[in-house]
Amino acid sequence: MNRWVAPCCFLFASILSSANAFAEEPTDVDKAREALTKQDGDSDSAKQLEEVFQAAEKNYSLLKKGKQSLSYSFDYSYFGDQRFDIEIQNSSVRNLDVTPAATHSFTNSFSYDYGLLNNLTLSTRLPLSSKFDTQDELSNTDIGDISFSLRWQPLAYVPGTPSLTLFSSFKTATGASPYEIDINKQLSSGSGTYSISGGVSTSKVIDPVVLFGSISLTYNFEAEDLNQVRGARLLESVEQGYSISFSGGYSYSLSYDTSLSTSIQISYSDETSLKFSDGSSAKAQDQVSSILNISLGTRISEKTIINTNVGFGLTEDSPDVLLGFSLPINLAGLKD
């Protein structure tokens, strides 16, 4: 690869389904509020798209067999929304109140990579999340959902031809679940469900530009044996279904020490089904989320590149603003 091409990012997302719960035929204030108000503990698009930045690969070439690397990333996201409180009697709206809501999320992540083979890399990611709801004056700092992934290059790279990487991921539910906390007093730090995902990413060098793209599919396992109070009912299980994500963009080498990348990420999340102890159920509508990401890579040493990025939500279901940066951590025991 020409020395003027700086490393580019390859994106994939494990997107968790989320939506507002619409209860069937609300008959009192609690059910109406539950149906039409975004709950504090519900996973939202800010949480779903949080992994867009953390999942970005710093380099396309996988680690050599037996090699290790450790990196740190920090990400911030802001999600603004309007909450509707209503009272419905005899199919008529009696009271309507619109309340602004704002959620700030800060995530510190540590990622460890190990080369199982020259073309096979095992990775794990540990996120530490801090979240603040400025409207309800709630906050929470806790561990997030730990994930494990494999990246495999089936074919050796040939200059002038597209490169191909297959990847798979397993996400745990180690963070505070939005379906187990007291939604009136606490905030979640995780998605509440286990999930598996897989996909493919590709790139092609057209000196001094690198074009890249990725597509992935995620399946979320059902969360059962819940006992969460929601209005006048108890939530027993949540089934989030599947989601699909596509991302693509380019990286342009401004010089040997700097590169500029632009990408767009679009995801579709299937509807979420909630079941309650009284036999009733609710379905949350499916969502389409999209963000535009701009990233600057700066070389500060021969082997160290700092990536800074900013993202903007393009749809109503997306976070309004995302900021972040990442850098490798050089430890004596992990040096090549």
pLDDT tens for 284-309 read 888 899 999 999 999 988 778 899 99
Distance CA 236, CA 324 (A): 36
Left (φ > 0), alpha (ψ -120 to 50) or beta: where does 122 sit?
Answer: beta
Indicate the range of 92-101, 242-251, 280-289 predicted with least confidence: 92-101
Burial of 306 (0-12, 13-18, 19+ CB in 10 A): middle
d(CA 186, CA 178): 9
Domains and their CATH numbers in the chain: 21-334 (2.40.160.40)
Q: Which tens digit of pLDDT belongs to each residue from 42-61?
A: 445 544 445 444 444 443 45
Q: Does residue 244 or residue 51 have the better pLDDT?
A: 244
pLDDT digits (tens, 9 = 90+) for 16-44: 333 333 333 344 344 434 433 344 444 45
Rounded to the nearest integer, the mean pLDDT of the chain is: 79
* pLDDT at residue 206 tops 60: yes
Asked whether residue 282 carries a pLDDT value surpassing 60, the answer given is: yes
Q: Tell me how far apart the alpha carbons of residues 201 and 163 are, in angstroms, rounded to a whole number.
A: 8
> pTM higher than 0.85 for the full model?
no
Q: Using an 8 Å Cβ cutoff, are 33 and 20 in contact?
A: no
d(CA 16, CA 24): 24
Task: Taking residues 257-263, report their average pLDDT.
Answer: 94
Burial state string for 258-293 with b = 16 or more CB within 10 A and e = fewer than 16:
ebebebebbbbbbebbbbbeeeeebebeebebbbbb
Token pair 């001094």 is found at 208
Alpha carbon 99 to its chain's center: 26
